Amino acid sequence: MIGIFDSGIGGLTVVKALTEHLPNCDMVYFGDTARTPYGTKSPGIVAEYALHDIEFLLHKGAKLIVLACNTASAAAGENIRKKFDVPVFEVISPAVEYSLRISRKFRIGVIGTRATVDSGIYEKKIRDINPEAKVYTAACPLLVPLAEEGWIKRPETNMIVRKYLHPLKVRQIDTLILGCTHYPILKKTIQRKIGQRVKLVDSSLTMAQNVKTFLEKYPEKYQMLSKNGKTEFFVSDVTEQLEKTARDILRKRVRLEHVRV
């Protein structure tokens, strides 16, 4: 099956996108809710946690790993690929490639957690492909707690989103990468505040499309992963709020099984 992990439950936006693209694949999700969030922590500790998370998924039988967390992808993506025999997908490269395909003026904005933005990985990957591209980043540390609280349509959230996006807006970006798997939850607000002309790149969707393209190229792998289209959900801590937010993202009730890491 496909193993997917995130620091918490933001990565469920990736599960949702993967289920739409690959409805027959079995999946196992792990949310490290006992140590969430990753986005405010150092690259060293995030890389360490990402290793634990992957080992858990492999132990559960995953044959393909998806890092559904931009912070973990930024801190550990490259190294982790080399460490394991199974294919490992990080969330950043597909978003970068897609943004360069759709951008006209190559003025690209990126929003993410402080850890993701501080890593400079989006700028690097974008300029590796197109050295002429202009990249403007903004760390938005309060968006994860706002999304997890379910404050989607509140005026306070509008104000905070506007404040964070302001420096990107004045730079007249034409494309904005949502560089955190929580942000699709706030997509409508973000689109309204940055303006309807700016194209949003949802890293959950581009990641799912990327996995699908890969599996179409390797039909034997696809066949191995395709079974009943069932997903199991594991988390390292369970609370009521978590169950509620998970339900809101997936639009159905799921059982979050508690495991110790």
Residues that bind a second copy (CB under 8 A): 33-36, 40-42, 44-45, 114-115, 141-142, 145-146, 148-149, 151, 155-156, 159-160, 163, 236-239, 241
CB of 46 to a second copy, least distance (A): 9
Instruction: Spell out the SS3 assignment of the chain.
Output: CEEEEECCCCCHHHHHHHHHHCCCECEEEEECCCCCCCCCCCHHHHHHHHHHHHHHHHHCCCCEEEECCHHHHHHHHHHHHHHCCCCEECCHHHHHHHHHHHCCCCEEEEEECHHHHHHCHHHHHHHHHCCCCEEEEEECCCHHHHHHCCCCCCHHHHHHHHHHHHHHHHCCCCEEEEECCCHHHHHHHHHHHHCCCCEEEEHHHHHHHHHHHHHHHCHHHHHHHECCCCEEEEECCCCHHHHHHHHHHHCCCCCEEECCC
Q: Which of 180, 190, 201, 205 is catalytic?
A: 180
Least CB distance to a second copy at residue 91 (A):
21
Which one, 175 or 245, has the nearer CB to a second copy?
Answer: 245
Least distance from a second copy to the Cβ atom of residue 156, Å:
5
At closest approach, how far in Å is the CB of 148 from a second copy?
Answer: 8
Q: Which of 9/95 has CB closer to a second copy?
A: 9
Look up 25 and say whether it is catalytic: no
Residue whose CB is less far from a second copy, 36 or 93: 36
Question: In terms of CB distance, is 224 or 238 closer to a second copy?
Answer: 238
Query: What residues are labeled active site?
Result: 69, 180
